[in-house]
A and B are shown apart, each in its own frame.
Chain A
């Protein structure tokens, strides 16, 4: 069965520091992969997506993610976080009409 795993439930990072959020997937073939961000009480906003081609993808708000087939990973990175980046982050995979499979999310806390 296809699955997406986010190993870290909470991550705390100091403002200005770099960030990496982990995501691992389990699919029979390379899936389409996504990162979404959710502010409290809001819907999900797409940060970036990977379909094929260049394994390093750029997204909005200064985020990027790298697809590594050998590690079945699609980690999200940002060189320098801002207090406004505090939110819940979801990795997701899929690509068919039956929707996306989401990880359980990583709650990002930014320390001043």
Chain B
């Protein structure tokens, strides 16, 4: 069966520090991968998605970047965190059926102080 893992689960970082959140999917190949951010009262905002290694699409301009160095690995990064980067980050994957159903990881809580 397929599983998705995110880490770290919780992160407290000072303003201006770098960020790296990692997401790995197991049990499937060539998944579509997604990073969403969830802020209180604002639902889920799509940040990045990837349909293959090295292919990254950005949905909103921001202080963050994403990379996909391997087929089942998706990384969210920042060189210098802002206070506004605080939030709950969710990684998700979908298969090749093109029905759009997403499977989510457990999330990473980022607090920028």
Q: Give chain A interface residues in 32-48, CB to chain B under 8 Å.
A: 32, 34, 36, 41-46
Q: Is the CB of B99 within 8 A of A43?
A: no
Q: How far apart sit A104 and B98, CA to CA, in the bound complex (Å)?
A: 24
Pick the residue among A42, A51, A94, A104 that contacts B43 (CB under 8 A): A104
Give chain A's interface secondary structure class: strand
Residues of chain A having any CB pair with chain B under 8 Å: 9, 32, 34, 36, 41-46, 49, 51, 90, 92, 94-105
Binds A, one of B13-21, B65-73, B78-86, B100-108: B100-108
Residues of chain B having any CB pair with chain A under 8 Å: 32, 34, 36, 41-44, 46, 49, 51, 57, 59, 90, 92, 94, 98-107, 109
- Which of B42, B46, B92, B100 lies at the interface centre, i.e. has the most chain A CB atoms within 10 A of its CB? B100
Pick the residue among B43, B98, B101 that contacts A46 (CB under 8 A): B101
Q: Which residue of A lies closest to B88 (CB)?
A: A41
CB-defined contacts of B49 to chain A, threshold 8 Å = 97-99
Q: How far apart sit A46 and B36, CA to CA, in the bound complex (Å)?
A: 16
Q: Which residue of A lies closest to B41 (CB)?
A: A104
Q: Is the CB of A96 within 8 A of B100?
A: yes
Pick the residue among B90, B98, B109 that contacts A97 (CB under 8 A): B98
Q: Is the CB of A100 within 8 A of B102?
A: yes
Q: Is the CB of A96 within 8 A of B98?
A: yes
Q: How far apart sit A100 and B45, CA to CA, in the bound complex (Å)?
A: 10
Q: Is the CB of A100 within 8 A of B103?
A: no
With contact pairs A44-B90, A97-B51 given, residues A105 and B43 touching in the complex (Cβ less than 8 Å)? yes
Q: Is the CB of A44 within 8 A of B104?
A: yes
Q: How far apart sit A42 and B105, CA to CA, in the bound complex (Å)?
A: 8
Q: Is the CB of B41 within 8 A of A43?
A: no
Pick the residue among A34, A97, A102 that contacts B32 (CB under 8 A): A97
Q: Is the CB of A43 within 8 A of B106?
A: yes
Q: How far apart sit A32 and B100, CA to CA, in the bound complex (Å)?
A: 7
With contact pairs A95-B98, A95-B99, A95-B100 given, residues A103 and B105 touching in the complex (Cβ less than 8 Å)? no
